[in-house]
């Protein structure tokens, strides 16, 4: 073999090797990104669930109070408070869903993906902080809608206070668990860095 033939053969094998290396990186990137994408899908599912369940729970739990005889000023104020709560919850869920849909693990670089996930985390933290306002407003709305059906005594007042405290503590625990899962997702995204061009 002459030198030129060897050089041509070497270039051919070098190109094949480059294509195989790119294909290998692409396959590994897709495999790693599927794991991260499942976590993102789970976070989206939670937001869709919240989007649907908040109005459903409020309507189902209060439907016995929706009678023409119960409609008065307190009922209307309570309905407006709960409507505001539903709008806030819906806006919060939709904002989270939109932020997660922006994440594209295959086409975005690691920094872009991590930035989008961190933006979602900030939305999540803002949502928890808003519980300090939305929970009392929601309880006030429920009390005003069901005003005629409630018998205000010490047990009911203690139950309402306990419910608010339980919800705030439960929300804090949920936020801590979700933050850990999001941090794990960010670590997984960082591992994708070595397989991206």
Query: pLDDT by residue for the chain (197 residues), tens digit each?
Result: 577 777 787 888 778 877 877 777 777 667 767 777 888 888 888 889 888 988 888 888 887 778 777 788 888 898 899 899 899 989 988 998 998 888 887 777 777 888 888 888 888 888 888 877 888 888 888 888 878 777 778 887 888 888 888 888 888 888 888 888 888 877 777 776 665 55
Q: Which of 137, 177, 143 is nearest to 159 (CA)?
A: 143
Residue corresponding to tokens 């050089």: 7
Length of the chain measured in residues? 197
Query: What SS3 class is residue 27?
Result: helix
pLDDT of residue 20: 78
Check if the beta carbon of residue 67 is closer than 8 Å to that of residue 132. no
Answer left, alpha or beta for residue 72, where phi above 0 means left and psi between -120 and 50 means alpha.
beta
**Chain centroid to CA 118:** 12
| Residue keyed to tokens 């419910």 | 163
Sign of the alpha-carbon dihedral angle for 12, 14, 17, 22: negative
**Encoding tokens for residue 2?**
């002459």
pLDDT of residue 197: 54
DSSP state of 194: G
Give yes or no for a contact between 188 and 32, defined as CB atoms under 8 angstroms apart. yes
CA 182 to CA 11: how far, in whole Å? 45
DSSP class per residue in 160-179: HHHHHHHHHHHHHHHHHHHH
């Amino acid at each position: 073999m002459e030198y030129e033939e060897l050089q041509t053969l070497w270039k051919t094998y070098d190109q094949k090797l480059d294509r195989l290396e790119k294909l290998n990186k692409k396959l590994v990137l897709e495999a790693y990104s599927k794991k991260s994408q499942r976590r993102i899908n789970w976070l989206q599912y939670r937001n869709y669930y919240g989007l649907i369940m908040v109005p459903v729970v409020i309507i189902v739990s209060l439907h016995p109070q929706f009678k023409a005889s119960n409609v008065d000023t307190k009922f209307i104020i309570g309905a407006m408070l709960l409507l505001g709560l539903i709008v806030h919850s819906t806006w919060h869920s939709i904002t989270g869903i939109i932020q997660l849909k922006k994440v594209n693990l295959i086409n975005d670089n690691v920094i872009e993906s991590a930035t989008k996930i961190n933006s979602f985390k900030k939305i999540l933290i803002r949502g928890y902080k808003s519980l300090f306002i939305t929970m009392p407003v929601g309880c006030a709305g429920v009390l005003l809608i069901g005003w005629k059906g409630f018998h205000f005594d010490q047990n009911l007042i203690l139950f309402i206070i306990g419910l608010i405290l339980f919800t705030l503590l439960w929300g804090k625990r949920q936020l801590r668990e979700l933050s850990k899962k999001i941090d794990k997702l960010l670590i997984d995204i960082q591992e994708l860095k070595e397989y991206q061009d």
